[in-house]
Structure 1
């Protein structure tokens, strides 16, 4: 038996180096013991693995990304599972695409669990203020299910760069002093204060913004299980807010009826646009010039959702004015649709790009960025209340449906969103600018026009 000694429970780099050496020698998974820290090893282990000195080989980024997440799982078999899959990938790289394979399915399940645990930590950490002499430190308690603390550290450093903070967990602690990130031993919940002065203000704010008209208790509990409630001060208000939701909703309806509808929505959309200008929900605001918000009548029957702003939109501050916007305008004219009657927006509000020399090249938003920006789309939909939504491109469809889809499978018919609003999905106009050689561009443009025309005519029916 061979022993691999890993420094920590999340020592992916150590596993990777050892796995490279062992895989080059084609050592069987059953002949390896993966030992973390000083935990006892097998009595029959005879040889500690010497890392290095092996010829290099490559595996796909897909496998490395998957393995780096699964290494954070608390499953004691994770390192053996990953090594077994590595040997299979070396023999058959396409095995990762086989979703019916039991081992691939199990490992992807572990990966999905890690994604959820990382998201929960980012969403449900609540800091409390602690005085340290004349300095202030913000301390939070969280109980992760897996070894995600180090993997999440960079997110909190980027989000709270100018704060001095500590996150305490039963698996370890991280501390940021404004310049240096350090680690510490596991902690206990009693190590953080019970409350701080800002919680009173936060609870008042949370109660004020609680919207009973959007309350879906089942969805809320699915996204925010009760096991996280004890760490969040605002959750103490939730039962009473739910109990009084119907009364508050009726009061909101009465107030809305007392105000001219179009004027009220105009003011509200403008306020939302002003609020969005300071959005920091994801890191895309840093390199972008400005946020590009939706434009159009605040009571439009049709909302068109694109993917994200482009270079021209980022410079001008207007939605759909670049090359893709010109294709969009030409298609609207061909379909007999008046753009001034549409509310046009994007699923992601900031321009994401890569620098190539002096050029800014469009980069596809990732799932985290799409999910972070969904909050703004939801607010726009709630205010405009469109009767029909047209989603252009995979990013827009992903944002509205909350799961990935293939455009080719969805074109030509409506999909009902959770609130019942019909959503027609078509290609993004920028896709028509990137058609490969040999594709009939005019035919694809006509098909795009047909998609828009069918969607609008469905509203008439």
Structure 2
């Protein structure tokens, strides 16, 4: 039995050196015990040292990337699992492409959970002012990440708050930024962090202002904002009250008469819809795009749809998704991706660690093209003429939002975003430069996953789709 001691819980370099030596020596996974000890040699006393000139071997890049993420997981099995996969790669070089393999699936699941934990840390760290008249203005926060991601996420906070001195205290390690350099110190206790400051009132005011009772889904909200983080969020004390009042507030909102778009916007958009070359009336806000889409006559599809469906999301979104066209439920709701394909997209975004609320979601064609079968409205693919006519609105959305990355979901979106057909399978996982300086990414449309009849093939396709979303999100970071 071989006992291997690593310098820390996230000592990837030490694990890699030991794992390479063990595999070279032919030590099977079941004969290795991994442990963490900050003292002593890499190998326990009485065990042979690393081979000085071990024969070289290579492993897939995606394994190394997964292992670097998985080692941050809190599971005690991660070291052994990583070595087991490394050992198996010697006889099964294509192992990483078998999404249904239990070891590979578990390793990917660990990496996904680590990525989610990193996102939660970015979203839920709340700084408080440290009161010390003898020190420069400094902020501190206490956070308990689900996994050991503090050092992974530290550069994000240094970039975000470059001119602010801060510390993030966690049970594992403390992150410090002095305005020039990142530093780290041993983990701390909650009592070491400031308990309250005046900024908390602003957080509560902001959260109450953006809370939309009509779109409340408690289970989904708690999935995005797990209760384990509530105790460190100043706005969390408002949540029970907001949930309790949501039904009555929604009823009051529904009872109010609908608002009309600005007459100036509608007149302007109507003029634009008749003359695509009239540059003076190019929309400059998302509200103008919405108003314009409602009166658009650039193609005949306005006769078929209940309403136009423009994009939805923050104006400053760094990631934009472009689908094909609104479906039956989107046409009725006036919002993109709220039907079955939208649910698939939401599930994939969740697994990829991509918050939908931070993305802009739209379609290449803004009206629902369909054919009637009795009382049912069946989807009908838009043709190239519809795509060309509607590209003007998509270009307006792109110019307003200015995303870093645009993901084309399916062939129609690819034609609209890139101006030409492209084989999705060939160009997946590639960053393609667009004329407006954004990066383009191609992947499948979520509705494709709904049409795959074979369960195993569907699971593999969904895993690829999640990988593409994760790739796009990292590219946009």
**TM-score, normalised via structure 2 length:** 0.60
> 1:185 — aligned with what?
186
Cα distance in structure 1, aligned partners of 2:347 and 2:109: 24
Partner-residue secondary structure (3-state), 1:239 = helix
Tell me the SS of whatever aligns to 1:244.
Answer: helix
Q: For residues 2 and 197 of structure 2, what CA distance do their matches in structure 1 show?
A: 52
| Corresponding residue for residue 89 of structure 2 | 89
Aligned to 1:378: none
CA offset digits 1:169-194 (Å, max 9, x no partner): 11121111111111111111111122
- Whole-Å Cα distance in 1 between the matches of residues 20 and 117 of structure 2? 28
Distance 1:34 1:404 in 2: 29
8 Å contact 2:19–2:83 — kept in the other structure? yes
Aligned partners of 1:21 and 1:52 also within 8 Å: no
- Give ranges in structure 1 of 5+ residues lacking alignment: 271-290, 304-328, 352-368, 375-383, 406-411, 415-421, 440-450, 452-461
* 1:124–1:228 contact (8 Å) kept in structure 2: yes
Check whether the contact 2:3–2:32 (CA below 8 A) recurs between aligned residues.
Answer: yes
| DSSP 3-state at the match of 1:167 | strand
Change (3 A) 1:154 1:404: closer
Residues 58-457 of structure 1: pairs in structure 2 closer than 5 A: 58-132=58-132, 133-253=134-254, 257=257, 260-263=259-262, 296-298=289-291, 300=293, 336-337=300-301, 345=311, 370=319, 387=334, 389=336, 398=345, 402=349, 426-427=410-411, 428=413, 429=415, 430=417, 433=420, 435=422
The alpha-carbon distance between structure 1 residues 118 and 297, as it changes in their structure 2 partners (threshold 3 A), is: closer
User: Would the alpha carbon gap of residues 20 and 295 (structure 1) be closer, same or farther in structure 2, given more than 3 Å must change?
Assistant: farther
Distance 1:6 1:184 in 2: 19
- Alignment: residue pair count: 343
Distance 1:57 1:395 in 2: 44
* CA displacement at 1:395 relative to structure 2: 12
* Cα displacement (A) at 1:85: 0.6
SS in 1 for 2:139: strand
CA distance in structure 2 between the aligned counterparts of 1:423 and 1:401, rounded to whole angstroms: 25
Tell me the TM-score normalised to structure 1 length.
Answer: 0.62
**Contact 1:130–1:137 (Cα < 8 Å) also in 2:** yes
Kept in 1: contact 2:310–2:335 (CA 8 A): no
- Preserved contact between residue 33 and residue 42 of structure 1 (Cα < 8 Å): no
Deviation at 1:168, TM superposition (A): 0.8
Unaligned 5+ runs, structure 2: 270-283, 322-330, 353-368, 372-378, 382-408, 427-446, 448-477
Aligned partner of residue 54 in structure 2, secondary structure? coil
| Preserved CA contact (<8 Å) 1:299 1:385 | no
Q: Which secondary structure state, in structure 1, belongs to the residue aligned with residue 22 of structure 2? A: helix
Alignment root-mean-square deviation, CA: 4.6
**Any idea what SS the aligned residue of 1:219 has?**
helix
* 266 and 221 in structure 1: CA distance in 2 versus 1, 3 angstrom threshold: farther
Q: State whether residues 265 and 298 of structure 1, in contact with CA within 8 Å, keep that contact through their aligned partners in structure 2.
A: no
Instruction: Kindly provide the CA deviation profile for residues 37-76 of structure 1, in whole angstroms up to 9, marking residues without a partner as x.
Output: 2479999962153265333322212111111111111222
- Hey, what's the Cα distance between the residues in 1 that align with 2:313 and 2:246? 29
Contact 1:295/1:345 (8 A) holds in 2: no
